[in-house]
Structure 1
Amino acid sequence: MPFDPARYAFSAETPSVEDYRRLRAVSGLSAKTPEAAERGLPGTCHGVVVRCEGRAVAMGRVIGDGGCFFQIVDMAVEPAHQGQGLGKRIFGDLMDWLRETAPPSAYVSLIADGEARHLYAKFGFEPVMPASIGMALWIGGRSGGAAPTQT
């Protein structure tokens, strides 16, 4: 289905805890506990939420220290709204904000899951291997202690 700009409203904001947790779950990202979301969302440097008929259907965020390091996280689009370019528009907005706000020496990173790496490459992101390798630690195990979410 082609993108219909009349259907979607894009806004620069941090998602609510409820929308954040739901969008992560339905888009296949790892679950986050309410406590984790409540503590983490205020750390958003810049966020984008997309609504369809008033309901949040997609999001993306930039987190970081505001000067040296930024990370793009939480790129999530409800399955029913995928394939319409929402993710590309969200990512473009996040990148515009970074280019306008971040100092020239800022390091911007992200974790590219699956085929998303192709979208990110269009914006200039490239693998850091072999010079560097991404590493992660899941506090509480891979599930992070979050209860499974039913969709």
Structure 2
Amino acid sequence: MKDFNVMHIAPSPEDYLNLRVEAGLSSKSVEAASIGLKNSLFAVAVYYDSTLVAMGRLIGDGGAFFQIVDIAVKPDQQGKGLGKLIMKELMGYLEQNTYPGSYVSLIADDPANKLYEQFGFAYTYPDSHGMYRKY
């Protein structure tokens, strides 16, 4: 991990969009990315030299609700513990900035759900069902 530079700042929209696509996440518009990144509660960006290789963000209202989003690692950097590093950073923020009753959620794709389980996340089903609407 000593070769990686961890920063608590959102990456540039261009780096963000490139990493999302390379990591297999959906594409976003430059406008949406610019607005979204500015409105992050907390961001983790991992660089190797000057290249963004991994990232993750927290979004929400900063009190009652938080959501972990954008966990992405470049395919050629996977298996090096970067996903776990990002989650540790995000969880550290949550430990310091949540309140009794705060709700932290995420959407887990296979096989990343195994990573999130290591940090205490559990499935909502059958008590509730995750839903979404995409534009």
Q: What's the TM-score bracket when you normalise by the shorter of the two chains?
A: over 0.9
| Corresponding residue to 1:74 among 70, 77, 91 | 70
Distance of 1:124 and 1:108 partners within structure 2: 11
1:43 maps to 39
**Residue 15 of structure 1: CA displacement?**
1.4
CA distances 1:121-146 after superposition (whole Å, capped 9, x unpaired): 0100000011100001011xxxxxxx
| Corresponding residue to 1:120 among 116, 120, 127 | 116
Distance of 1:13 and 1:39 partners within structure 2: 14
**Residue 103 of structure 1: CA displacement?**
1.1
1:6 maps to 2
Q: Which amino acid aligns with 2:115?
A: L
Q: Does 2:18 align with 1:22?
A: yes
Q: Which amino acid aligns with 1:63?
A: I
Q: Which amino acid aligns with 2:45?
A: V
Q: Does 2:88 align with 1:89?
A: no
1:111 maps to 107
TM-score, normalised with respect to structure 2: 0.97
1:56 maps to 52
State the number of aligned residues.
135
1:101 maps to 97
**Residue 63 of structure 1: CA displacement?**
0.3
Distance of 1:88 and 1:120 partners within structure 2: 9
Question: What SS does the corresponding residue of 1:44 show, helix, strand or coil?
Answer: coil
- The sequence identity of aligned pairs, in percent, is 48
Q: Which amino acid aligns with 2:112?
A: A
For structure 1, the residue ranges without an aligned partner over 5 or more in a row are 140-151
CA RMSD between the two structures = 0.7
Question: What SS does the corresponding residue of 2:41 show, helix, strand or coil?
Answer: strand
For structure 2, the residue ranges without an aligned partner over 5 or more in a row are none
1:145 maps to none
1:148 maps to none
TM-score, normalised with respect to structure 1: 0.87
Q: Which amino acid aligns with 2:103?
A: Y
